[in-house]
Amino acid sequence: MSGISLIITFIIAIIIMIWMISKLKVHPFLALMSVSLGLAIIAGISLNKIPSIIGDGFSGTFKSIGIVIIFGAIIGTVLEKTGAALKLADIVVNIVGQKRPELAMLIMGWVVGIPVFCDSGFVVLNPIREAISKKILANPISMSVALSAGLYASHVFIPPTPGPIAAAGAVGLSSNILLVIIMGVVVSIPVLIASYIFAKFTSKKVMLEPSAEDDQLITQSYDDLLKHYGPLPSGFLSLAPIIMPIFFMALGSIGKIMGLEGDIAVPVQFLGNPIIALAIGVIFSIFLLVNTKKTVEFNELTNETLKIVGPILFITAAGGVLGKVITEAGFVEYIKQNAVTISAAGIFFPFLISAILKTAQGSSTVAIITTASIMGMFNASDSLMNALGLTSEMGAALTVMAIASGAMCVSHANDSYFWVVTNFTKMTPQQGYKTQSLLTFIMGIVGMITVYILSLFLH
């Protein structure tokens, strides 16, 4: 199969996948695997080659990024369960002050969202938001919008959350996660500024009707939360599981730039490898458990984390299978033959694919992983990245950011995060569309504009 029929087949395959996930409620792993197999057969790939293609696509993804995702998830779970996430929130509030509640919520969410899933992060930090709102009589919806935005920005842009880590591996940056972290921070800044402005705007437009009973529950829930965690860990121990991996990855990158060789270079590159750097983060998270006297819970926390991260790993691997099938089917070769037309989309191409997938099926992580798998590795001659001219590490990092921006547009009724934010804020669905849905649209567009501007100078 070749030419326009191949493009039509690919589009139909994506539509079927979205339909299976969103309408039939088929698990994304099974939907991706089914569509990959069907696409391989219809595209005319030799039947005796299909099993090895599926195996290579599946195992290759695990090899490049699986351990990193697991370690990052363990760090996030420990930070959440030991109260370190609350400690980080306290640090932010103390620095920013309660006179700027939306800004405090925004930064708090952004910091906590780096290691913790945005859904979990909102649940953990919501009592703080409610308590501050009650104390200074701030609009709870504007504070909720700011908290949601902060968590969401780091969730899609900054490793070690699974989406951007998996995308980094899929586009060939598994050995340079630090570059993705740096670009994630850079791109998220304009996104956070736009979110803050929108949060201030909503404070005048959307209001809740609080009651005395609600106030009593707010105070009670926050006090109960602190009692549940007991004494919070120190600021250093709370930050260390995040900061130390970044430090060692930075050390490894500096070593490469300086051209270190010999006996010094070996330990520097060893410690700077993302797997080892995140393993060090896990060690510091164990120190957190010791400090909070929760070491007996480590086995349970690890099991809980693996249950959460397991589906993400399998979805990531299934995305790798789809990417492999797309390459073998000749889709990329056709794109290359029409590179003049297709390359006009440039960095906007992965954004559009990711935005379509996100809006249609709801999961930002699935949208990120699937799109990154479709794009392929920047250093592979048979990838979409190559066809679009995105053939450098910086081009790959910008592609991850474009995919992440698309994976924000938009959060609505088919997204679990939409219901977490609206229900915990006591908003109606209509208010949720005016706040959370519009917010995520703005975040995605601002993110993509930022990526495009950066691409003019960096790529």
Task: Provide DSSP, 108-124.
Answer: HHHHHTTTS-HHHHHHH
d(CA 356, CA 360): 6
Where does 234-297 have alpha helices with state H? 235-258, 265-272, 274-291
Residue 44 structure tokens: 């005319």
**Contact (CB, 8 A) for 400 and 391:** no
| Burial class of residue 25 in the structure, from the number of CB atoms within 10 Å of its CB (0-12 exposed, 13-18 middle, 19+ buried) | exposed
d(CA 254, CA 126): 39
What SS3 state is found at 173? coil
Conformation bin of residue 198: beta by default, left when phi > 0, alpha when psi is -120 to 50: alpha
**Contact (CB, 8 A) for 36 and 318:** yes
User: b/e for 94-115, b at 16 or more Cβ within 10 A?
Assistant: eebeeeebbbbbbbbbbbbbbb
**Contact (CB, 8 A) for 158 and 181:** yes
The residue type of 83 is G
Q: What pLDDT is stored for residue 399 in this prediction?
A: 96
The whole domain housing 185 covers 4-456
d(CA 364, CA 142): 23
The residue type of 345 is A
Q: What pLDDT is stored for residue 192 in this prediction?
A: 97
Per-residue pLDDT of the chain (459 residues; tens, 9 = 90+): 666 787 788 888 888 888 888 788 888 889 889 998 998 999 888 999 999 999 988 887 677 678 888 888 888 889 888 888 888 877 877 787 767 888 988 998 998 888 778 887 887 788 778 767 766 667 888 989 999 999 999 999 998 888 899 999 999 998 899 999 999 999 999 999 999 999 998 877 776 665 544 555 455 555 666 677 778 899 899 889 888 988 888 888 788 777 777 778 889 889 988 889 889 999 999 999 999 888 999 999 999 889 888 887 888 788 888 878 877 887 766 666 665 566 677 899 899 989 988 887 778 888 898 889 888 899 888 788 888 888 999 999 999 999 999 999 888 877 888 888 888 888 888 888 889 999 999 999 999 999 999 999 986
Q: What pLDDT is stored for residue 340 in this prediction?
A: 57
Q: What pLDDT is stored for residue 260 in this prediction?
A: 77
Residue 308 structure tokens: 């959460």
Q: What pLDDT is stored for residue 181 in this prediction?
A: 93
Residue 426 structure tokens: 């006591």
What SS3 state is found at 191? helix
Q: What pLDDT is stored for residue 213 in this prediction?
A: 45
d(CA 124, CA 89): 10
**Contact (CB, 8 A) for 403 and 350:** yes
d(CA 63, CA 449): 33
What SS3 state is found at 241? helix
Q: What pLDDT is stored for residue 424 in this prediction?
A: 81
DSSP for 3-16, please give it. Answer: THHHHHHHHHHHHH
**Contact (CB, 8 A) for 129 and 147:** yes
d(CA 203, CA 145): 9
**Contact (CB, 8 A) for 301 and 81:** yes
Query: In this structure, what DSSP letter does residue 434 have?
Result: I
Residues 6+ apart with CB under 8 A from 42: 1, 9
Question: How many domains does one find in the chain?
Answer: 1
Q: With residue 349 as reference, give the H or E element that holds it.
A: helix 348-361
Q: What pLDDT is stored for residue 185 in this prediction?
A: 96
Q: How far is CA 282 from the centre of its chain?
A: 19
Residues 6+ apart with CB under 8 A from 65: 165, 166, 168, 169, 170, 174, 316
Q: What pLDDT is stored for residue 98 in this prediction?
A: 67
Where does 82-211 have alpha helices with state H? 84-96, 101-112, 118-136, 140-157, 162-170, 177-205
**Contact (CB, 8 A) for 194 and 450:** no
Cis amide prior to 210 (ω within 30 degrees): no
**Contact (CB, 8 A) for 364 and 356:** no
